[in-house]
Structure 1
Amino acid sequence: MTDAPASAHVTWDGVDLHALAERLGAPLYVYSASHIRNRIASLQTALRGTDHLICFAVKANSNRGVLALMHEQRVGADIVSAGELWRALHAGVPPERIVFSGVGKSEAEIAEALRVGILRFNVESHDELLLLQRVALAQGVVARAAVRINPDVDALTHAKISTGKAENKFGVSIDEARRWFAARGELSHVQLDGLHVHIGSQILSLEPFRQALQRVAAFWRELVAQGHPIASIDVGGGLGVCYREGHDHPIDAAAYVALVREALAGFEGRLLFEPGRYLVGEAGVLLTRVIRLKQGEERSFLVLDAAMNDLARPSLYDAWHDIVPVSGEARPMITYDIVGPVCETGDTFATARALPACAPGDLLMILTVGAYGASMASTYNSRPLAAEVMVDAGRYAVVRQRQSFEDMVAGEQPANHWETA
């Protein structure tokens, strides 16, 4: 088990964080392998006795070390790009455990996914369905496909990560999906025999899942009654995690699976799950050092060496992340605005946040960054990407070297070689 995320603890999965930061520098992403395994096990235990496949949402954390750990635990991959396909395959994930989602699959991406023989495409528009037919025909293969249903359900989450409402760009209405199945005999090289639904991310209530699954279940039963075989139902992901202690109350995996079992009672095909954040979010911390304290006219600023380019969620979503010192010392509490060095006012991790008094050089950790942390990072302000390390019961392994300046500018060059198109 990982150590509890409290200021009195200075280890993460048995590894001393001060020693790790001294050796590898900061900012530094640290992922607990034990925590990830435990999260996978909680789902696998709840799903015992069902025909199922868990496909990790690669967008949450695309590090090949993390993907290799998923493969070791017999978890597949839910991808949304050719780059994620490449990462998954090179991490050892077999193509028959890979599903391809996303509204903007290009012809080249579809062709490559068909070439390697992925399990299934989650199709999100009629244009994509016809493109899949053309590319599969050209290759002389049959593509397995599921239609992504947009059930028009409010996931009760942040607007930017809600994906199941009618105004969102994802999926199609049940009425449109009904027309696809009615015409599926015209698809010589697409086997349309699956349903898919994913209503959003960081969901902390069972009710949106219940509403969505009830609508999908009713449609599945309607299709079967009309003679359309449904081999798989992909229920997506979206399980939330705890970003703010005492405030966020995540759904228990067993309760979630029980809801799926109840809603899809009688379904004899395969159930697919696409957890991302749930498996890795709380497994990750971002180690960062205090650069300086700056006293403004109205606020005290705590300036860190981590920035919005390392962790975009607070800037992008106004997201809360608990932040604690990696120290057990008793110090008076001070209220800070916790910011990074990037030249944007939006480079703010927390406003008016109470912390034990800090000094330059102090090591802090930002919690619950294993999902949508490093995977969304950039080199804005020409800041090289942070290193990433995996810890596991007292040992550690670097899974991404800290980017050098030379790595950061690789591929750039002066405009010395002019050509005409």
Structure 2
Amino acid sequence: MHSDRLPGHPHIAYLGDELFLEETPLSALAQQYGTPLFVYSKTAMLTALAAYQQGFAGRQVQICYAMKANSTLGIIQLFAQAGCGFDVVSQGEMTRVLAAGGQASRIIFSGVGKTRAEMRAALHAGVGCFNVESEAELEVLNEVALGLGLQAPVSIRVNPNVDPQTHPYISTGLKGNKFGIAHERVVQTYQRAAALPGLSVQGIDCHIGSQITQEAPYLDALDRMLDLVEAIEAAGVPIHHIDMGGGLGIDYNGETPPQADALWRKLLARLDARGFGQRALMIEPGRSLVGNAGVCITEVLYLKPGEQKNFCIVDAAMNDLPRPAMYQAYHHIVPLKPRTSPPDTWEVVGPICESGDWIGHDRTLSVQQGDWLAVLSAGAYCMSMASNYNTRNRAAEVLVDGTQAHLIRERESYADQIRLEHLPVLTQ
């Protein structure tokens, strides 16, 4: 049977007149589980992870999946079984890792606003390291750890003032961003951390942004990090590991980010040249592991031709796929069963009562009411950012492994949504 693979998506292909993910026809999943529906390829995720693992062959590296990209238990379990640690930014994310079988000792706890309750929970669980993001947080974490009779392992997140050349909402390493310790305050902050009895200094961390498609920002950030390590150690504070964060982008619409193994060969060569080749490393990839592994299937509800624009109204909306509305992001949209009739240009929009509820502008599609469409590159920052806006139930999720399909999240019900709400007894 003739196979047409989609560019940038080697695990998605048309076989005959059907769109398949791995060896599973997506229309069969839409029929069985309804829409909107997120579907993920196990092979695509493990292939993406393998590129990092190959790039680090022979090195002392801990890969920690940045689970903010997709925090579904079935995805976390897959990466835990593949040997990953996890980068979490809340107690809730830590709870998910532990529920999915991840090891607390391989968790890095990041985030600018950790509460005392979160610190206590993470210390009780035995997380591997806290990435501390402010001088004030150091003091609070020290106090909390001493109160429990423990020492908190810490690295300090540095703001290297490097432009990642990405969307401003997901740039995190510039002076104007809320993240990390200012470059010029780093040595003093490490000296203070080393003096606090409730803390044990382990490493240094930076993360300059997300959806980065060039290698230069990484090389720039690495050089600045190594300069700081030299200065910190000269001040008497040893640094045991270097955490370079994550942020490597994916191909949404013709972007050409470096391959993970090629990027890390260059970064490791820079480390070697500067005498840090034997230092333990940590990295925190997220989007690059899951983004192009997922699709969102949606049904065409209505076609609404107009004088200025033609609207294709689908049952997926900005609560399911927030990236277009939030970041003006592009996702390819393709039919599950292509038609031979002449195409038109459509605004692909959802049913939510907002003009910002769009999935794709000016898309050339041959569609009819009742057709199914696949929104590609939907594995990252879609389901994890989904909401109940307009009291819409969040979608079901399915993990595909060859010909096998596993339901990893049931579709939410209205009863689920209102379960925690109460009607007060009001006086008349």
Q: TM-score, normalised by structure 2?
A: 0.94
User: Are 1:342 and 2:352 matched, yes or no?
Assistant: yes
What is the identity, as a one-letter code, of the residue corresponding to 2:120?
A
Matches of 1:38 and 1:272, distance apart in 2: 19
Q: 2-side partners of 1:222 and 1:5: how far apart?
A: 52
Equivalent residue for 1:297? Answer: 307
1:315-354 correspondence to structure 2 within 5 Å: 315-354=325-364
For the 8 Å contact 1:217–1:263, the answer to whether it is kept is no
Matching of residue 88 in structure 1 with residue 94 in structure 2: no
Q: Is the 8 A contact 1:2 1:12 kept in 2?
A: no
Gaps of 5+ in 1: none
Match of 2:187 in 1: 178
Per the alignment, residue 252 of structure 1 pairs with 259
CA contact (8 A) 1:26 1:289 kept: yes
Is the contact between residue 51 and residue 259 of structure 2 (CA under 8 Å) also seen in structure 1?
Answer: no
Q: How far apart, CA to CA, are the structure 2 residues paired with 1:6 and 1:256?
A: 31
Alignment partners' CA distance in 2, 1:263 and 1:176: 25
Residues 240-283 of structure 1, C-alpha deviations (whole Å, 9 max, x = no match) = 00111xx2112111221113212322323320010000000000
Pairing partner for 2:163 from 148, 154, 168: 154
Residue type of the partner of 1:208? P
The alpha-carbon deviation at position 330 of structure 1 amounts to: 2.6
Q: Is the Cα–Cα contact under 8 Å of residues 193 and 228 in structure 1 kept in the other structure?
A: no
The residue type equivalent to 1:279 in the other structure is: L
Distance in 2 (alpha carbons) for counterparts of 1:259 and 1:17: 39
My pick for the range that moved more, 275-284 or 296-305, is 296-305
Counterpart of 1:292, as a letter, is Y
The offset of 1:305, in angstroms, is 0.5
Partner of 1:131: 140
What corresponds to 2:3 in structure 1?
A: none
Match of 1:395 in 2: 404
2:385 maps to 376
Pair 1:261 & 2:271 matched: no
Q: Distance in 2 between matches of 1:51 and 1:343?
A: 51
Separation (CA, whole Å) in 1 of partners of 2:84 and 2:208: 22
Superposed displacement of residue 9, structure 1: 5.0
Residue identity in the other structure for 1:4: I
Q: Which letter maps to 2:255?
A: D
For the 8 Å contact 2:194–2:201, the answer to whether it is kept is no
* 1:250 aligned partner, one-letter code: P
Q: CA deviation at 1:81?
A: 0.3
In the TM superposition, residue 184 of structure 1 has moved relative to its aligned partner by: 3.5
Once the two structures are superposed, residues 344-386 of structure 1 have per-residue CA deviations (whole angstroms, 9 ceiling, x without a partner) of: 000011111212x210110100000100010000011111000
Counterpart position of 1:240: 249
Give the match's secondary structure for 1:302: strand
Give the whole-Å Cα distance in 2 for the aligned partners of 1:145 and 1:296: 58
Between the aligned partners of 1:5 and 1:166, the Cα distance in structure 2 is 43
Matches within 5 A, 1:137-148: 137-148=146-157
Q: Which amino acid in the other structure matches residue 338 of structure 1?
A: V
Residue in 2 that maps onto 1:270: 280
Q: Which residue identity does 2:341 align to in structure 1?
A: R
Q: Which residue of 1 aligns with 2:320?
A: 310
Shifted more, 277-286 versus 33-42: the winner is 33-42
CA shift, 1:99, in A, is 0.2
SS of 2:179's partner is coil
Cα distance between partner residues in 2 of 1:401 and 1:323? 24
Secondary structure in 2 matching 1:338: strand
Could you say if the C-alpha distance between residues 185 and 216 of structure 1 is closer, same or farther in structure 2, counting changes exceeding 3 Å? closer
Corresponding position of 1:4: 12
* CA apart distance, 1:416: 2.3
Q: How far is 1:141 from its partner?
A: 1.0
What is the letter of the counterpart of residue 219 of structure 2?
R
CA–CA distance in structure 2, aligned partners of residues 375 and 315 of structure 1: 15
Do residues 37 (structure 1) and 46 (structure 2) align? Answer: yes
SS at match of 1:388: strand
The match for 1:112 among 105, 121, 124 is 121
State the Cα distance separating 1:5 from its structure 2 match: 5.3
The 3 A distance-change label for structure 1 pair 413 and 2 is farther
Q: Which whole-Å CA distance do the structure 2 matches of 1:149 and 1:417 have between them? A: 52
Aligned to 1:169: 178
Query: What is the SS of the residue equivalent to 2:189?
Result: helix
Paired residue secondary structure (2:12): coil
- 1:200-258 deviation line (CA, Å, top 9, x unaligned): 000000011111111001111222233321111110000000111xx211211122111
Secondary structure at the counterpart of residue 11 of structure 2: coil
Query: Bigger CA drift: 156-165 or 167-176?
Result: 167-176
Cα distance, 1:408 vs structure 2: 1.4
Distance change >3 Å, CA 329–CA 23, structure 1 → 2: same
Cα RMSD between the aligned structures? 1.5
Measured after TM superposition, the shift of residue 185 of structure 1 is 4.0
Q: TM-score, normalised by structure 1?
A: 0.96
- The DSSP-based 3-state class of the residue aligned with 1:18 is helix
Could you report, residue by residue, the CA deviation over 1:148-205 in whole angstroms, capped at 9, with x for unpaired residues?
0101111100000000000000001122111012334421110123100100000000
* Inter-partner Cα distance in structure 1 for 2:281 and 2:13: 33
- Distance of 2:183 and 2:149 partners within structure 1: 30
Is contact 1:2–1:34 with CA below 8 Å preserved after alignment? Answer: no
Find the residue that maps to 1:4 and give its secondary structure. strand
Indicate conservation of the 8 Å contact 1:5/1:367, yes or no.
Answer: no
Q: Percent identity?
A: 41
Cα distance change of structure 1 residues 6 and 242 upon mapping to structure 2, 3 Å threshold: farther
Note if contact 1:322-1:366 (Cα within 8 Å) is conserved in structure 2: yes
